[in-house]
Amino acid sequence: MSSGSSSVIERARARIVYDSRGSPTIEVEVRTASGAVGTAAAPAGKSRGRHEAVPYPDGDPYRSAQIFNQEIALKLVGRDALDQRGVDAFLREVDGTPNFSRIGGNLALATSVAIAWAAARSASLPLFAHLSKIFNMRTALPLPLGNVIGGGAHTLGQAPDIQEFLVFAFPEASLRKAVEANFLVHRRVSSALTELFPKAAIGRNDEGAWAAPLPSEQALSLLTDIIESVANETGVPLAVGLDVAASSLWDSSRQQYVYKREGVRRDPGEQIDFIIDLVSTYPIKYVEDPLHEDDFAGFREITDKLRKFDCLVCGDDLFVTNPERLEHGIKEGAASAILVKPNQVGTLSDTFRVAQLAHTHGYVRIASHRSGETEYAYLSHVAVAIGARLIKTGIMGSERVAKLNELIRIAEHLGIER
């Protein structure tokens, strides 16, 4: 701690605000001696891995706010906001559990990010530059991985069993053109679905993706035609991504993946063959959670088999931004990319520990939002600071677009004409 420093915390408080689903979430505000203020709120996932940090004690965000205001706030006063690792270690010490079940992982994240913002502003730095400096990681400007057709746990009614049908540009594309191409694909999908189902109500899910009563392969065929036409018009090379969210399909009692809407059951070998067949048939270059969250051996097999298609295999529920689970995956050779969701692990220090480990072992980093999001855009700064190749923000809705707009501002700050 540097006594008398302008970055010393003078005041801290927590309050309840609301996320994009209208659900209560925690927001933390921190003020330093220089008058710099850092504020952050935590998002909430609907499709959560079993091994994630616990969002709130007994599922109660109000309890987290009470713990902060009665127990944590005064203990933060006098600490230096520049000591991010020290503050994050303090949060773990106060919690005293391996998964933040006492104070809540969302409280830990909101506090960690609010303090980082306050420190960055005290040092007159953008958040991404501050984080890159303190965690010693090389920055990169990611491109958007947009969710254009939704199914699974994120969509009600008749929709594909696969959770997300995604679109993204290849690395040579500029940021702005990639963003605009994703939006154009989204609009074209809407038109195509309306034409295909003229009597159906075509709506959007939590992340802005279109929901419609069509099976997975029909969704892929439709999306393939659209990205090819958009790529030809815009000159932006595009590919398809899938978030299978296979843990939500897995029936452990029968050891099968159950595709309820399509009336199909697949054993683990058949699931691998199914995904490989999709990748070999359609322009899929990204597959997230193709198998359930504890099948490290299956992930190794499918990763090896998809290498010849130059397709990333990404672990979300498999890794849950957890260093121990990532280390296990590294030993097994499971996956080639990791989804980085800060609220899965609780603090920025933990998040960057995972990102550094992934970088060291050649795993592609993909920064990700949650389905219940806030208007805060700190994820964009985290994505740049961890050197992410892609960023998942959903596709439409002000809480989603805010992250993309912030990336454009960051690119301008970096002097990148993207």
Residue 43 included in any domain: yes
Res 50: pLDDT: 76
For β-strands 264-266 and 256-259, DSSP reports them as antiparallel
Q: What is the pLDDT of residue 45?
A: 72
Catalytic residue among 27, 52, 164, 207: 207
Same domain, 232 and 103: no
Full domain range(s) for residue 211: 135-414
DSSP string, 91-103: HHHHH-STT-TTT
Cβ contacts of 277 within 8 Å, gap of 6 or more: none
The pLDDT assigned to 2 comes to 43
Task: Provide the domain count of the chain.
Answer: 2
User: CA-to-CA distance for 364 and 368, rounded, in angstroms?
Assistant: 13
The count of C-alpha atoms lying within 13 angstroms of the C-alpha of 283, restricted to the half-sphere facing its C-beta, is 18
Q: Is residue 273 part of a domain?
A: yes
- Residue 189 shares a structural domain with residue 108: no
Residue 75 domain-assigned (yes or no): yes
Told to judge if 46 belongs to the known catalytic residues of this protein, a careful annotator would answer no
Is residue 3 in some structural domain?
A: no
- The CATH code of the domain that includes 103 is 3.30.390.10
Residue 77 lies inside a defined structural domain of this protein: yes
Q: Which pLDDT belongs to residue 1?
A: 41
Let me know whether 167 and 118 are in one domain.
no
Report the mean per-residue pLDDT for the chain.
93
Q: Which residues of the chain have pLDDT under 50?
A: 1-4
Do 156 and 202 reside in the same domain of the chain?
yes
**What pLDDT, on the 0 to 100 scale, is given for residue 47?**
61
What pLDDT, on the 0 to 100 scale, is given for residue 49?
A: 64
Residue of 180, 159, 154 lying closest to 169 (CA atoms): 180
User: Which residues are paired to 390 by β-bridges?
Assistant: 143, 366
- Please check whether residue 7 is in contact with residue 81, taking contact to mean a CB–CB distance below 8 angstroms: yes
* Annotated catalytic residue, options 29, 164, 285, 341: 341
Instruction: Return the pLDDT at 168.
Output: 97
Residue 192 falls within a domain, yes or no? yes
Count the alpha carbons within 13 Å of 384 in the hemisphere toward its beta carbon: 26
Same-domain check for residues 209 and 99: no
Statement to judge: residues 253 and 384 lie in one domain: yes
Task: Tell me the C-alpha distance between 43 and 377, whole Å.
Answer: 11
217 is catalytic: no
